[in-house]
């Protein structure tokens, strides 16, 4: 392994599952290797995907650009979790931001591959 192939950063990338397909396709095309973990949570309790990617710091900006290009925040209206009065036939809707990505970047002290 050359110095540019050593892993010194671990990215934990959490994205909405509907945006994960495009992102993982772009990561594979650009030779980023990752582990995909299906998950759920957050305010809306929607499906998410957590990607674990070990990279060399020289590729950090390239990875961030791919994430920015594929994971956009958008607004959607969802039913509020309140009990409406019996007279009201329409549920109360609230606006929420969905999509985008949450990224944690950790320094890797040691990496071994067997």
* Cβ atoms of residues 71 and 19 within 8 Å: yes
Structural domain of 92: 3-107
Q: What is the CATH number of the domain that holds 39?
A: 3.30.70.120
Q: Answer yes or no: is 112 within a domain.
A: no
Which pLDDT tens digit goes with each residue over 74-109? 777 777 766 655 556 667 777 666 678 999 999 999
- 40 or 114: whose pLDDT is higher? 114
> Model confidence over 10-66: pLDDT tens digits?
999 999 888 899 999 999 999 999 999 998 776 666 788 999 999 999 999 999 999
Residue 114 lies in a domain: no
User: Does 113 reside within a domain?
Assistant: no
32 contacts 55 by C-beta, under 8 angstroms: yes
Domain count, the chain: 1
Give domain status of residue 100, yes or no.
yes
Q: What pLDDT is recorded for position 39?
A: 84
């Amino acid at each position: 392994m050359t110095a540019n192939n050593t892993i010194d950063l671990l990215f934990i990338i959490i994205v909405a599952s509907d945006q994960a397909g495009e992102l993982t396709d772009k990561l594979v095309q650009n030779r980023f290797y990752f582990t995909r973990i299906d998950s759920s949570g957050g305010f809306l309790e929607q499906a998410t995907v957590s990607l674990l990617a070990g990279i060399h710091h020289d590729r950090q900006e390239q990875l961030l650009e791919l994430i920015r290009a594929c994971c956009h925040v958008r607004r959607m209206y969802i039913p509020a979790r309140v009990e409406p009065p019996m007279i009201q036939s329409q549920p109360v809707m609230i606006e929420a931001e969905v999509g985008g990505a949450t990224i944690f970047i950790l320094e890797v002290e040691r990496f071994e591959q067997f």
